[in-house]
Amino acid sequence: MRSVMCFGDSNTHGTMPIASLAARGRFGRADRWTTHFADALPGWEVIAEGQPGRTTVHDDPIEGPHRNGLTVLPALLESHAPLDAVIIMLGTNDLKARFAVTAFDIALSLEKLVTVVRQSGAGPDGAAPQVMLVVPPPIVETGCLAGMFAGGAAKSGALQAEIALAAARAACPVFHASPHLVVSAVDGIHYDAPVLAPFGLALAQAFRHHFGD
């Protein structure tokens, strides 16, 4: 059986929309988009590797350096090897005001992660896993997270085109989540339960198109 690792943040983890910073809700395993994705790919082992607050390449000065995706990715590639494919769905947390980065820089950071996967030798027989980038939907500055993501909504709109350009430069497939997914009105970052299954199924269809059943 082939394997794919879904490398992402709180939305890959299954975090529920939060009404306060003290909230810690997580969808049950059956309701997460990664489970719906796996159900539509019976020939694949799907490894859900999502961490709340995970960035592309940044140490978080408030939430901790362990949230740096670039730092942790090599270890995860080794621990889950051999991997046939890696899906990277990151960039939303880079929109936090504390990082002060542009949409262009976030796309370059994702390109860096693609390079790490390809140079890892974590695929079958030491080959490189295949990679797909997923473009998260635009965020909304609302609720308890509005201050944290101040200025991020405009950047997230620009991120759609920038990640597509990064994927083209890296010659890897890209999947735009926004036609299948919208952020919750509760916090503007996370996803409500009804959109998770359609998103997982749509991503699985695109994945099969590029990598086979």
Residue 212 has what pLDDT? 85
Q: Where are the domains of the chain?
A: 2-16+24-211
Q: Architecture of domain 2-16+24-211 in CATH? A: 3-Layer(aba) Sandwich (3.40)
Which alpha helices (DSSP H) does 7-120 contain, by range?
A: 10-13, 33-39, 69-80, 103-118
Per-residue pLDDT in tens (0 to 9) along the chain, 213 residues: 999 999 999 999 999 999 999 998 999 999 999 999 999 999 999 999 999 999 999 999 999 999 999 999 999 999 999 999 999 999 999 999 999 999 999 999 999 999 999 999 999 999 999 999 999 999 999 999 999 999 999 999 999 999 999 999 999 999 999 999 999 999 999 999 999 999 999 999 999 999 988
The pTM for the full model equals: 0.97
Write the CB contacts of 75 (distance below 8 Å, at least 6 apart in sequence). none
Strands (E), the chain: 2-8, 44-50, 85-89, 130-135, 174-176
